[in-house]
Structure 1
């Protein structure tokens, strides 16, 4: 492909036949856009196409970059892969796809010296995750330090929501601790002070990193201007799950003009309220960024029958929910939704394994075509299902299983982990074209060469936890 820019009116989608009319409207909109898209609407594909459009038309000028922010590592990796498949390497290199936590951590790491001394972490620092009991212990310690007339107020803080809502919604002052005037100021200062200086090495949560990153861009206008100059276009996926802390960071960093933000998601799929997600994320975004709302109306994943079921559920959540149009043909000659009732857990597990095995054989599907969604405690479900599924010749992969400080779902898309697994497979003499391709790609990168490669590998049935 030529390096010459394509005229916007002449640009066509890459890798797909076309976009729906509403997607064209959102893709070409010059300002910030709020794209509401339900399940199967192709949200990731739309963002990949918009990236290709901005890069290939030169609207995102050379030396400038596009920043895509996702909530999970696998989503960020998936979007980066889509863009690399649709544009030449020299353009794909200007597309940065990160999680919220990775982006805010990178700012703290890069500009740590710009943080006021009393709030500056050690270098290096550790990432920690607090259990409820740890939060309770720390709040009790803070209350014991407080002056008598503040103790009752401090006792009202909930260990479950203190960091998510109270710390997450708090803009750090540059003059801590002289700015302490309220019980909230006192509690948050001592909470952060314990993370920063409680031990030899700072032990920070991702919410603390978010607050420090927001402080960096708010207190250092030159840094904020440099970030906005680098990323004139920003994508935010699954926007309905944006927390108060994350939205506040976006507003401080990109809310002063000069940046076009494309927020994509579906308020009916909001499941992260317990983790601090805003209930009004889209409405607040549209007000603060003067964003135009666009509803995507096509569903590229679900059959017409399933779309009708989805619309029935959607209308109970939002009576004004638009009618979605399925773009697929039905694959089942029977009900697309069934409700099973079992008299015991053992019978349920046996029935489920037998049904999947029979359906897989009858329709010639792969294990990776099936997913089991559980509300919580996926590890317990894995233990109960494993032996029964193995008896039917089925394998399971628990996407929620913890591996150190991460989980299988994130580990499977981690670049270092993929390289290590590929090397191990080849080292033990296992014939694996996918492993060979993975390692070959790395050698091409190391040698400064490029080569197009694609492959698909059947994966086992996944267990996903939903909240």
Structure 2
């Protein structure tokens, strides 16, 4: 098949930048995207293009490296569903650790001196010279093999024509070293795809962090996927209008976004108290309709603690659960804290797919048998943890025992892989801080372990946070109060980028509001401006998409 004849799989509608990424030849690509943009499907479609058009010619193969077992399996299953079996057999999908241990087992003779290994070496918690290596040594040993043996490196490079890197924003130093040792400076083309939690909008192709390093090292073309396909059509049309303004080539014709699903409300009020009263009723209606409070977010560009005071007062009086993420500081957004809270959520008896998913990646073994043993140990540990919570649900001390038990089960060395800035000391420090935080919530609110974990973790109430903290998250319903010049000020790029982040967090319902007068809340600075002006430059994107319009 000629490259010009290739079309995406039936039922797959690629946005312009995704189509460019799929068809790219002769270059590497750095593809950044927000939630719901279809990153895994993009890689599956790119594999289809490369294999079906001969851009990956026989006997070359495609190597895909993911961070989690389920992600690697999901990508492989997608490719098998998209291309013929004889082509799919040339697609290899591994995690970083699975890829590394394959290199070690196949080329262990390339290791020498202190790192030399016997043929029957094992993997365990401690290093035993020649006989046993630890999980943490997989990547460094694989890199050493590639650095010290030109024949092995040549064999690897002759095997693959293309490499995919999924969830690339989580790449650690060891993982990136392995990639550069293996493929930098070759004719192999890499496609790195990742979530843009640090920078939602790649304005003019701007990249940050690991993506910027990758683009420089591999001369990669920067592409950004904007369309959140989890949002209902009315919300997608609003987002697409902003995309057309910010990155015209990435927008799709509006008539391609069909359907009337989703709601957008645009409201103007005389005072902030009136705005808060309306917002409270809007939240209550959605909770009554069955949306969990934790799936409702109220986003402010700045100072959510000040701007949310009228709303928080009403939520508190009504007994509706809420959590002010700004007050929680950064502890609960640490990767380790999220995993710990996922465990505690399950230990208190809650059923949460997201919590299970957070744990599953930590149970990966070097092969299917070891992964099975890890899952079996996890199941036994979770049953014991649930029994302990049910007996001592009001005892603060049980929290520390649960967290210590979880660390012992998973291994502090494994937990350090959650962030490039972690070592075992940091793992212990964050665990102690989280234990203390949960116990403080229990003491201050009179709730039990389940209630405290629910407030901090995967349950919780209505989320009140800054737009910046919402990056990478999605909610069924999102409210963006104070869409005013006094809130959205500064250079146009940062203003529109922040607003796009806010409106693209919503999947089903979006409320945009402003007020003509905002009385200074408790703790407001002297520079607080009571008189307000609606920011029509932002609100206009919702015009004709909602039930009415506010006067200018």
Give the TM-score normalised by the residue count of structure 2.
Answer: 0.48
- Counterpart position of 2:71: 75
Residue 119 of structure 1 pairs with residue 115 of structure 2: yes
Note if contact 1:300-1:328 (Cα within 8 Å) is conserved in structure 2.
Answer: no
- Counterpart position of 1:225: 154
- Counterpart position of 1:50: 46
After TM superposition, the structure 1 = structure 2 runs for residues 205-216 of structure 1, keeping only pairs within 5 Å, are: 205-206=135-136, 208-216=137-145
Distance of aligned partners of 1:396 and 1:204 in 2 relative to their CA distance in 1, 3 Å threshold: closer
Measure how far apart 1:106 and its partner are: 0.6
Give, in whole Å, the separation in 2 of the partners of 1:48 and 1:400: 21
SS at match of 1:18: coil
Of the three residues 59, 62, 65, the one matched with 1:66 is: 62
Note if contact 2:233-2:261 (Cα within 8 Å) is conserved in structure 1.
Answer: no
Note if contact 2:146-2:153 (Cα within 8 Å) is conserved in structure 1.
Answer: yes
Give, in whole Å, the separation in 1 of the partners of 2:33 and 2:359: 31
Give, in whole Å, the separation in 2 of the partners of 1:100 and 1:381: 28
Measure how far apart 1:125 and its partner are: 3.5
Q: How many residues align?
A: 308
Note if contact 1:67-1:97 (Cα within 8 Å) is conserved in structure 2.
Answer: yes
Note if contact 1:122-1:196 (Cα within 8 Å) is conserved in structure 2.
Answer: no
Residue 195 of structure 1 pairs with residue 127 of structure 2: yes
Give, in whole Å, the separation in 1 of the partners of 2:85 and 2:179: 28
Measure how far apart 1:201 and its partner are: 3.4
Give, in whole Å, the separation in 1 of the partners of 2:191 and 2:134: 30
- Counterpart position of 1:15: 10
Measure how far apart 1:298 and its partner are: 1.9
Distance of aligned partners of 1:115 and 1:396 in 2 relative to their CA distance in 1, 3 Å threshold: closer
Measure how far apart 1:402 and its partner are: 6.6
Residue 204 of structure 1 pairs with residue 134 of structure 2: yes
Measure how far apart 1:104 and its partner are: 0.8
Residue 302 of structure 1 pairs with residue 231 of structure 2: yes
After TM superposition, the structure 1 = structure 2 runs for residues 53-202 of structure 1, keeping only pairs within 5 Å, are: 53-128=49-124, 195-197=127-129, 201-202=131-132
Distance of aligned partners of 1:332 and 1:128 in 2 relative to their CA distance in 1, 3 Å threshold: farther
Measure how far apart 1:376 and its partner are: 3.1
SS at match of 1:53: helix
SS at match of 1:195: coil
- Counterpart position of 1:376: 340
Measure how far apart 1:379 and its partner are: 2.7
User: What is the CA deviation profile of residues 13-61 of structure 1, one whole-angstrom value per residue up to 9, with x for unaligned ones?
Assistant: 1133432211122222221111111111111111000000000001111
After TM superposition, the structure 1 = structure 2 runs for residues 434-453 of structure 1, keeping only pairs within 5 Å, are: none
- Counterpart position of 2:356: 399
Distance of aligned partners of 1:233 and 1:415 in 2 relative to their CA distance in 1, 3 Å threshold: farther
- Counterpart position of 2:179: 250
Give, in whole Å, the separation in 1 of the partners of 2:32 and 2:296: 25
Distance of aligned partners of 1:279 and 1:20 in 2 relative to their CA distance in 1, 3 Å threshold: closer
Give, in whole Å, the separation in 1 of the partners of 2:230 and 2:68: 21
Measure how far apart 1:378 and its partner are: 2.1
- Counterpart position of 2:217: 288
Note if contact 2:63-2:92 (Cα within 8 Å) is conserved in structure 1.
Answer: yes
Note if contact 2:73-2:93 (Cα within 8 Å) is conserved in structure 1.
Answer: yes
Give, in whole Å, the separation in 2 of the partners of 1:415 and 1:43: 30
Distance of aligned partners of 1:105 and 1:18 in 2 relative to their CA distance in 1, 3 Å threshold: same
Measure how far apart 1:337 and its partner are: 3.0
Distance of aligned partners of 1:202 and 1:414 in 2 relative to their CA distance in 1, 3 Å threshold: closer
Give, in whole Å, the separation in 1 of the partners of 2:21 and 2:151: 31
Note if contact 1:210-1:245 (Cα within 8 Å) is conserved in structure 2.
Answer: yes
Distance of aligned partners of 1:307 and 1:323 in 2 relative to their CA distance in 1, 3 Å threshold: farther
Flag structure 1 segments of 5+ consecutive residues without an equivalent.
1-5, 130-193, 271-277, 312-318, 350-372, 422-462
CA RMSD of aligned residues (A): 4.5
SS at match of 2:340: coil
SS at match of 2:190: strand
Flag structure 2 segments of 5+ consecutive residues without an equivalent.
200-206, 241-245, 264-281, 284-294, 299-310, 323-336, 376-457, 460-471, 474-552
Give, in whole Å, the separation in 2 of the partners of 1:264 and 1:118: 36
Give, in whole Å, the separation in 2 of the partners of 1:100 and 1:17: 29
Note if contact 2:120-2:131 (Cα within 8 Å) is conserved in structure 1.
Answer: yes
Note if contact 1:120-1:196 (Cα within 8 Å) is conserved in structure 2.
Answer: no
